Structure formats: C-alpha cells, structure tokens
Amino acid sequence: MTGIEITRRPARRSLLVSAVAGSVATTAAALGSPAGAMLCLAGIAVLVAGVATARHGLVDGGGLVAFLGVVFAATEGATAGPVVFGTAATVVAWDAGGNAVSLGRQLGNRVDSLRVEFLHAVAGAVVGLTTALVGLVLFRLGPTRQPVTTLFVLLLAAVLLVVALNR
C-alpha cells in the first residue's frame, strides 16, 4: 500500500506544442532549401526527444540544430519571410520544450499543465511574430541604401541597451 510515485518528466501532451511549432519551422526552412529543412527536422526530432525524456541539454541542442537549419536555408537563398518566421517558430518550439521540461521536473507527468504551457507558448509566439513583422516592414519600407554593417552596429547598440537596462 505505498503511494504513487512522481514521474519527473513532462506529460505526453506537452510534446504537442513543440512538435507543432517545430513543423512550422521545418516548413519555413523547406521554402529555402531541402537540406536546411532536413537539418531543421533533425533538430526538432532531438528537441522533442529531449522533452519526452526531460533533458534540458537535448532540448537546447535540438533547438540550436533546428535554428542552424533555418540559417542554412537562408544562406541557400531563402527569402526574408520564411527565414524570419522560421526563426520565430524555432524559438517557440525550443521555449515551449524547455518550459515543458521544467514543468515536468517540478510537478511530474500527472499534472494537467496544458493551460500554462499553451499560455506560455502563445506569449512567445506573439513576441516572435510581432518582432518578425516589425522587422519585415522596416526591411521593406526602410532605407535600403544603408549598408548591413551600419545595421549591425545599430543592433549591437540595441542589445547593449537591453542588457544595460537589466543590470
């Protein structure tokens, strides 16, 4: 008559968000190059496996590989739209995966955490989509004469600002 054990890994349903976001990323990469899509798919597979076994390392590694797939597609000549949305989808997949693993480790797989996970994923997706849209609009309407180096310096400044604000 012993009590139930807590299985410290995410519930099966938690795989869903990562898998859906991951397939969006793969589709986006496929618009650029099939090889990039394959890389992306492999990364997502590792990521989902990481969620299933509650291993942060696998989730992070898989997310990075999936993103490399998107980057590869970009170098192969993918247009801005698929690359930007692919990036956002990859981040959402990785973010949702990491969140699911932390939930699984803290609460076990018998807790119904779908609501929290869904909320988290939606918030992440909204941020990604907004940034992507703003970026794209600026990309289309903005002064295209600027060399990329100038933009890079601006981006550097933005990052430093974000970091400095949080010190």
Partner 1 sequence: MSDGDRSDEPDGGDPESGRRPERSDGGADLEAAASGSDATASADESTAGESPESGAVSGGAATDVAAGRSAADEESEIDEGSAAGEAGATTVREMHLVSTNHWVGVATVSFLTAGLGVVLRSRPLFLAAVVGVGYLAYANATEAPEPSISVTRSVADPDPEPGDRVRVTVTVTNTGDEVLSDLRIVEQVPDAIAVVDGPARTATALRPGASVTFAYTVLARRGRFTFEGIDVIARNVSGSRERVLDLATAETTITCLPGLDATDTVPLQGLTSPYTGRVSTDSAGEGVEFASLREYHHGDALSRLDWNRYARDGELATMEFREERMATVVVLVELRRAAYLQVGEDGPHVADRSIDATRRLFNSLIATGDRVGVAALAPDDVWLAPGAGPTHQAEARRLLATHPALSPTPPSGRLYVPGYLKTLLSRLDDDAQIVFVSPVPDITSAYIARALHVRDHPVTVVSPDPTRTDTPGRTLAAAERSNRLASLRRAGIRVVDWEGDERLAEALERARRRWSA
Among 27, 35, 42, 131, binds partner 1 (CB under 8 A): 131
Q: Position of tokens 């597609």?
A: 73
Rounded CA separation 66/62 (Å): 6
Nearer to partner 1, 19 or 32 (CB): 32
CA distance 108 to 113: 10
Fill in the per-residue mask, 50 to 79: x = in contact with partner 1 (CB under 8 A), - = not in contact.
----------x---x--x--xx--xx--xx
Shortest CA distance to 27 belongs to which of 18, 15, 40? 40
Buried b (16+ CB within 10 A) or exposed e, 14-48: bbbbbbebbebbbebbbbbbeebbebbbbbbbbbb
Shortest Å distance, C-beta 37 to partner 1: 15
Q: Residues interacting with partner 1, by CB under 8 A?
A: 1-4, 6, 11-12, 60, 64, 67, 70-71, 74-75, 78-80, 83-84, 86-88, 91, 95, 98-99, 102-103, 106-108, 110-116, 119-120, 123-124, 127-128, 130-132, 134-136, 139, 148-149, 151-152, 155-156, 158-159, 162-163, 165-166
